[in-house]
Amino acid sequence: MIHATVHWQNSGEKLRSNRYSRVHTWTFDGGKVIEASSSPDIVPVPMSDASAVDPEEAFVASLSSCHMLWFLSIAAKAGFEVVAYRDEAVGEMQTNEAGKQWIGNVRLRPKVTWSGQREPSAAEMAQLHERAHAECFIANSVRTEIRIET
């Protein structure tokens, strides 16, 4: 089971005014607490907090993190040494057939730094990413198109 607690507390605003704070917390099973909010691109400040994590950012980060964790595991089993992995992932909001906003695609753009005697060829690198994508639990759970741009 995967657990997360999301908590919001009304600080006295009337919900009907639509001018209430969207700031809330995410608490994870290990005890980590993250401040979250709606995106200020969707709900303007001061009802949103630009310094907090918004659900759309968390979705993109989850896809990127899951891919990275699988990539590191698969690369290690293949005998490659990774020194650093950095992904500046980007999600794109789109409108679906029903006129609803959704994150239609996510571009993962990993940059991998290797050490050791052997670095993967371009073909091996593509295979490592394909395998990581195929194993990622989050990628297997969504209909968003995920592109890996190396």
Among 10-14, 40-44, 99-103, the least confident range: 10-14
| pLDDT range class, residue 13, cuts 50, 70, 90 | confident
Q: Which domains does the chain have, with CATH numbers?
A: 1-53 (no CATH), 55-148 (3.30.300.20)
What percent of the chain shows pLDDT beyond 70?
A: 100
Q: What is the mean pLDDT of residues 70-74?
A: 98
Q: Contact 86/111 with Cβ under 8 angstroms?
A: yes
In this predicted structure, what is the pLDDT of residue 104? 97
Point out which residues pair with 108 in neighbouring strands. 148
Check whether 11 has a pLDDT greater than 90.
Answer: no
Amino acid at 85: Y
What percent of the chain shows pLDDT beyond 90?
A: 91
Alpha-carbon distance of 57 to 55, in angstroms, equals 5
First to last CA, the chain: 33
As a whole number, the mean pLDDT across the chain is 96
